[in-house]
């Protein structure tokens, strides 16, 4: 499990480095400040692992309604600029997905996770970790809008 998490973080960092390696780029202090970057081009986030909760919904209609509410909450948090990356794992294990929150404390991220209807219902639980990563992740929501043909 630990190796998986380290691999995930390494993959995110590698992707950011590869994207920036396409052309020579000059330091832009205004842009760095806008994204909350420190002198290394990094910033603090809270990385959240969404895990299978203790509640299982067997009613398909209720499960689908809860999923729609979960996705709507993700959209709301993204629009607020708090949720930078979100997505499910596709291997049907205890780990269901990840969030990366652009917040500086576990406490603030914990409050945000408590707005998730799936957490409230007990179908998901969250494991939160402070994380230091590239400030370039702050641009993911803007880039995603250009790639998203149909909303979730």
Rounded CA-CA distance 59/129 in Å is: 33
Domain ranges of the chain: 2-147
Ranges of beta strands (E only) in 17-136 are 42-52, 83-88, 95-101, 124-134
Per-residue pLDDT tens listing for the chain (152 residues): 656 565 666 666 666 666 655 677 789 999 999 999 999 999 999 999 999 999 999 999 999 999 999 999 999 999 999 999 999 999 989 999 999 999 989 999 999 999 999 999 999 999 999 999 999 999 998 888 889 888 76
Residue 142 pLDDT? 87
Contact criterion met (CB below 8 Å) for 115 and 79: no
| pLDDT value for 15 | 65
Q: Which two tokens stand for residue 16?
A: 């950011």
Q: What is the pLDDT of residue 76?
A: 95
- pLDDT on residue 27: 92
The yes/no answer on whether domain 2-147 falls in CATH 3.30.70.1060 is yes
pTM of whole model > 0.85? Answer: no
Select from 142, 85, 132 the least CA-distant residue to 104.
Answer: 132
Q: Which two tokens stand for residue 146?
A: 């250009």
Distance of CA 39 to the CA centre of its chain: 23
Report the 10 Å Cβ neighbour count for 52: 14
């Amino acid at each position: 499990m630990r190796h998986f998490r380290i691999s995930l973080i390494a993959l995110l960092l590698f992707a950011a480095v590869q994207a920036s390696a396409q052309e020579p780029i000059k330091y832009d202090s205004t842009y760095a400040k806008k994204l909350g970057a420190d002198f290394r081009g990094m910033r603090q986030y809270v990385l959240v692992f969404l895990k299978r909760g203790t509640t299982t919904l067997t009613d398909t209609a209720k499960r689908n309604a809860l999923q729609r509410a979960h996705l709507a909450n993700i959209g709301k948090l993204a629009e607020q600029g708090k949720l930078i990356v979100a997505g499910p794992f596709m291997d049907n294990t205890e780990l269901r997905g990840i969030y990366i929150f652009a917040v500086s404390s576990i406490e603030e991220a914990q409050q945000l996770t408590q707005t998730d209807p799936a957490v409230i219902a007990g179908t998901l639980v969250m494991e939160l970790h402070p994380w230091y990563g590239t400030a370039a992740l702050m641009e993911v929501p803007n880039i995603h809008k250009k790639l998203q043909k149909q909303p979730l």
